């Protein structure tokens, strides 16, 4: 079996540490918002964003633990899970990334409307917030659900946690254990989207 960096202990320790730090930071933001009793539009957006960053970061911090015990890859990290726990990890990471991207976008729209166009918060809350929630739910859940139904959420050699890909990664359609019905082009695009999205989570803390 070919050795990949993401199969090493180093590759599992790094996201465990960074994921834990990110989760604690998001939990701290949530705690501050709740204790402040300030339910302004900005705080609601930050609460929503921090909650999904917390979910995503905790899922990433688990690294290889949710992967199936009978994993075919030669990986140094601990694997105590099943196919279902692996799917759950990948689903939560994908969904969390989607909601964080939407929250980031909505925060930018909030700044634009309040600073540039002097829009009142009450109008923003009644008009744009429901649209945002509908948009975020559709964008963040449709793709992960589709991938879940296609058995395309699996361990891969490209991340130290369950993500998007066929299993085994280089299998061809009927030769796949899982994910054989998903097109290779879509999977390749989603794999890169997954990697780039996780690696750029730090942009959230620039807000």
Task: Give residue 186's pLDDT.
Answer: 65
pLDDT for the residue 157: 86
The pLDDT value given to residue 107? 92
What is the model's pLDDT at position 173? Answer: 78
pTM (predicted TM-score): 0.87
Question: What pLDDT, on the 0 to 100 scale, is given for residue 58?
Answer: 97
Q: Which pLDDT value is given to residue 126?
A: 92
Which residues, other chains included, contact 134 with Cβ-Cβ below 8 Å and sequence gap of 6+?
none
Ranges of the chain with pLDDT below 50: 1, 202-207
Q: What is the pLDDT of residue 145?
A: 93
> What confidence score (pLDDT) does residue 151 get?
94
Place of tokens 């991340």: 159
pLDDT at 188: 67
């Amino acid at each position: 079996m070919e050795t990949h960096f993401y199969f090493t202990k180093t590759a599992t320790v790094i996201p465990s540490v960074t994921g834990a730090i990110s989760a604690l930071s998001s939990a701290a933001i949530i705690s501050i918002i709740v204790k402040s009793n300030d339910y302004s539009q900005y705080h609601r957006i930050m609460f929503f964003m921090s909650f999904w960053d917390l979910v995503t970061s905790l899922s990433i911090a688990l690294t290889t633990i949710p992967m199936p015990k009978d994993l075919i890859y030669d990986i140094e990290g601990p694997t105590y899970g099943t196919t279902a726990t692996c799917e759950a990890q990948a689903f939560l990471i994908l969904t969390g990334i989607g909601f964080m991207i939407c929250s980031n976008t909505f925060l930018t729209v909030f700044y634009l409307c309040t600073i540039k166009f002097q829009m009142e918060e009450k109008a923003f809350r009644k008009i744009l917030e429901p649209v945002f929630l509908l948009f975020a739910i559709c964008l963040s859940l449709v793709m992960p659900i589709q991938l879940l139904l296609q058995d395309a959420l699996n361990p891969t050699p490209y991340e130290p946690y369950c993500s998007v890909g066929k299993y085994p990664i280089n299998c061809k359609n009927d030769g796949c254990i899982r994910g054989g019905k998903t097109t290779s082009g879509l999977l390749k695009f989603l794999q890169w989207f997954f990697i780039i999205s996780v690696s750029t989570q730090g942009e959230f803390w620039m807000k």
